[in-house]
Amino acid sequence: MRIIPAIDIIDGKCVRLTKGDYETKKIYNENPLEVAKMFEGSGIEYLHLVDLDGAKAKHIVNYKVLEQIASKTKLKIDFGGGLKTNEDLHIAFNSGAKQITGGSIAVKDRSTFEGWISKYGGNKIILGADSDAGKVAISGWLEKSEDDVIPFIKDYQKKRIQYVICTDISKDGMLEGPSFDLYKDIIESCTNSSSDQSIKLIASGGISHIDELPKLKALGCEGVIIGKAIYENRISLKELEKFV
């Protein structure tokens, strides 16, 4: 199981929110590159980089931060937040993203998102399917769509999506443990059909203790995104180094 630390960016700074609420913003470091280098120094190979300004503005904003981290580390970066147009995607990949995550666009503009999957392949485009009481949350989690999470994922599975990030919003930033039951349901539901390829599910939200990681691995999660637990020293980089 891949360990994927998260860096969320507002005004070029490394921050964390609670349940996606911008009013709860806490700045952890003025220099995201410094944080990324610290992760890399601990043997971590992957990074989940979120442009929170972009999510609000509905277009890419912090691509310079992406460019800086991509050019000065060897981290494989998946990038998301406000990617709405082909131009946004072009900028993200040109700035060094290895993968991009699309959430709201996968609900609101399916034809564009499906076009991205066709053009770049299901291994480069990640489906963001964040859960708000079982419904897919969109628009920086400010809206709840009519789509149920599991049918939504299964539908995109048929369109050849491979990677799915699922955050249970009620758990995000709470440090109370992840949504094991939700991930179990998704993995079981999306591996039953022999006609569909299995999805690679990346768990996100609520990670609070190193002991939760083997449980997620046992469920079949392909990766886990860890944010606040690292910044609040609930999980040390030494512990992650051993797990990696």
**pTM attached to this predicted model:** 0.94
Which residues have a Cβ under 8 Å from the Cβ of 219 and sit 6 or more positions away? Answer: 180, 183, 184, 187
pLDDT band at 197 (very low <50, low <70, confident <90, very high): confident
Confidence (pLDDT) at 46 = 98
What is the count of structural domains for the chain?
Answer: 1
pLDDT in tens, 13-36: 999 999 888 999 999 999 999 999
Which residues have a Cβ under 8 Å from the Cβ of 94 and sit 6 or more positions away? Answer: none
- The active-site residue, picked from 88, 130, 147, 168, is 130
pLDDT in tens, 126-180: 999 999 999 998 877 767 889 999 999 999 999 999 999 999 998 888 889 999 9
Which residues have a Cβ under 8 Å from the Cβ of 13 and sit 6 or more positions away? Answer: 27, 29, 30, 31, 32
Domain hosting 130: range is 2-243
Question: Encoding tokens for residue 89?
Answer: 């995607």
Active site includes 185? no
pLDDT for residue 244 is more than 90: no
Q: Let me know the angle formed at the C-alpha of 85 by 122 and 48, rounded to the nearest 5 degrees.
A: 55
Q: What is the CATH number of the domain that holds 200?
A: 3.20.20.70
Active site includes 8? yes
pLDDT in tens, 67-84: 999 999 999 999 999 999
The larger pLDDT score, comparing residue 216 to residue 198, is at: 216
SS3 15: strand
